[in-house]
Chain A
């Protein structure tokens, strides 16, 4: 048996197909992106090597809106971590206590997660529509006519409206992850605490939350990385406008690459996003030293 399991030919046959596809479709292209990011090139012209010039441009806010985009994506990350995840945590704690309709709430909260962002985006475009959208209709129905807005067309409200949908869509996802972590805590621990007279709030603070810290870390990581990579929803809702107010790095990258054919600059943005994601992942792993619990 051992002889077969250490047979080089078999090992090669099993690993190589996945390895080949992975390397040719992801690893080599990334390296190629890195190379392109040092060029001044539009796809047709002569490739001119310009070193880190493209990266310097990014930090000098060229193309216009890039620094706003970076700020926006970081703001979205903060909102996700400090609003979306906490709401999800509260929901998870409340419904995991075994109240009636536990499964109903779990399913309903999760449904937006499985629906295509393209569909969600189109739907919310209609919700925010100034004349026939539900939001303005609701506002006038409850007598708040003066709050009616053209939500996505105004630089003052567009960002908040877009971010609301981003946070809305994935609350159920974080809720489910935290819920399943809470469910895996042995009942005896919670019962013991209850016998000792701990209140629900005390149990949540001193038992549930510390025990699910590893899963909270997973959620925070997902929320952060997801925010830095956001594209679909903003592309569908506003394409970064009006006047760059809802821009994120990926929407600018998409435009620079595919409408303006500025391949060097666009690649520099792509590499910037990769490095951002890697750095923040390491950051969270370090800053969030959660030890795993075994029961």
Chain B
């Protein structure tokens, strides 16, 4: 009896600690949601932790209409989607050649790409900035898409190579007997087989692009091409004393990732762990 009692007590203690940490992890975000729905009067009133008295949906309509937030959302979506498509196609092709084709330098080629995993983005900020000023890519979406894709390639190739290596040779051979050429084999047979890897690469790339700040803030200054992170940094000055509107902007910027995560949490969690093990 005594032992059971002790075990139960221990269990309570660990629950309390787990809940406490969960509270620390999630409360700031919950607080953001509450103040995004409050008026200035309430935010700067007596109790910052209280729930909103009246839900100020107008904070949201204000930033969406006056704050260019819709434009930023569209820009971020465009940059992210194109980057995901580019990085998947380029990396899957290169990984196929490295994992399945027969040539002398494939090992060295893989090592060369993997070097990219260790290179911090900061190291190429200035050269890219100068290049973009020169070529006129500055202030265009391409200025972000190209480096984002390039930085997604090393991890993507590694994940894809790992997947391709597990596919039995017979799959290709029988298709070849039926008269398919290499492109058809790649597109119709190999790509469908590596769908889980494509999901992993896409999730990784999505989070990296959607949240990137340094390149975006350096390569983009024109309002019409700004992505969410740059846009939010710009909004900060505009709404310095209006927390409600700024909060609404922050919530809108965060919503897509949180929704994706909640619906696909198993997939996302699997992706993060595959990425890490491979990297």
Contact = CB atoms under 8 A, between A and B. Distances in A.
A14 B91 CA distance: 9
Contacts of B120: 225, 228-229, 273-274, 277
Contacts of A78: none
Contacts of A231: 122, 213-214
A126 B22 contact: no
Pick the most buried of A21, A231, A250: most chain B CB atoms within 10 A of its CB: A21
Interface residues of B, dominant DSSP: helix
Contacts of A91: 18, 21
Contacts of A181: 273
Contacts of B113: 18, 22
A295 interface: no
Contacts of B268: 114
B104 to A, nearest CB: 10
Nearest to B203: A114
Contacts of A138: 49
Nearest to A17: B90
Contacts of A240: none
Contacts of A278: 118
A94 to B, nearest CB: 6
Given A29-B127, A32-B127, A118-B232, A11 B26 contact: no
A134 B35 CA distance: 11
Interface in A196-222: 215, 218, 222
Interface stretch (B53-61, B147-155, B191-199): B147-155
Interface in A1-50: 1-2, 4-8, 10-11, 13-15, 17-19, 21-22, 25-26, 28-30, 32-33, 36, 43
A257 B250 contact: no
A270 B125 contact: yes
A5 B44 CA distance: 68
A68 interface: no
Interface string B19-51: 001101110110110010000000110011100
A110 interface: yes
B126 A15 contact: no
Interface residues of A, dominant DSSP: helix
A18 B246 contact: no
Nearest to A257: B126
B79 interface: no
Contact of A176 (B150, B262, B273): B273
Given A11-B101, A18-B91, A18-B157, A29 B272 contact: no
A33 B127 contact: yes
Interface string A249-292: 01001100110000100110011011001100100000000000
Contacts of A10: 97, 101, 182
Given A26-B124, A36-B126, A116 B228 contact: yes
B123 A273 contact: yes
B213 A122 contact: no
B211 A118 contact: yes
Contacts of B14: 94, 99
B114 to A, nearest CB: 11
Contact of A122 (B130, B131, B250, B257): B250
Given A14-B94, A106-B269, A258-B218, A236 B233 contact: yes
Nearest to B131: A29
B119 interface: yes
13 contacts: A14-B96, A14-B97, A18-B153, A33-B126, A91-B21, A109-B22, A111-B29, A116-B228, A116-B229, A122-B246, A132-B48, A134-B48, A257-B126
List 4 tightest A-B contacts by C-beta distance, closest first: A29-B127, A25-B150, A14-B97, A18-B94
Interface of B: 11, 14-15, 18, 21-22, 24-26, 28-29, 31-32, 35, 43-44, 47-49, 90-91, 93-94, 96-98, 100-103, 109, 113, 116, 118-131, 146-147, 149-151, 153-154, 157, 172-173, 176, 181-182, 186, 207, 210-211, 213-214, 218, 228-229, 232-233, 236, 243, 246-247, 250, 253-254, 257-258, 261-262, 265, 268-269, 272-273, 276-277, 279
